[in-house]
Amino acid sequence: MLSLNFAKTSLIQFFAKNSSHIPINAGCDNNIKFNITNIKFLGIIIDNTLMGKSQTEIIIWKLSVACFVVTALKPFVIQDTLKMVYHSGFHSIINYGIIFWGNSLYSNSIFKQQKRIIIIIMVAGIRDS
């Protein structure tokens, strides 16, 4: 038998950024959380405007940690090892859930982080493409 855990159930209402909010009430006395602004689903934070700001902030923090790891390892390992660290700790973070945040206004800062770590790995200049 399938049952719903009302303590873990949330309801999110999606709307355009400039539209008015119409509150939803299911008319039941359960513990369902209504009208929340964002929700975490399978490790991806989805906000009610689908702008992706919360998700990109978390991704940027994770990418900064991965960038620090690559910078710390660089003097001790060869470039092929740095590429493996990039693909395991950086590229996998970017690829997970890109369909949700890849088209957001805030995705440009993530791609700047990606350029930064590639410059570190490849020993390139800031203006190199």
**Angle, to 10 degrees, between the axis of helix 53-73 and the axis of helix 107-122?**
10
User: Phi, psi at residue 47, to the nearest 5°?
Assistant: -100, 165
Q: Where are the domains of the chain?
A: 53-122
Q: What is the pLDDT of residue 21?
A: 62
pLDDT tens digits, 29-86: 566 666 778 888 888 888 887 778 888 888 899 999 989 999 999 999 999 999 999 9
Write the burial class of residue 22 (CB in 10 Å: 0-12 exposed, 13-18 middle, 19+ buried). Answer: exposed
pLDDT tens digits, 77-102: 999 999 999 998 888 888 888 887 77
Task: Tell me the two tokens of residue 20.
Answer: 């008015």
pTM assigned to the model: 0.74
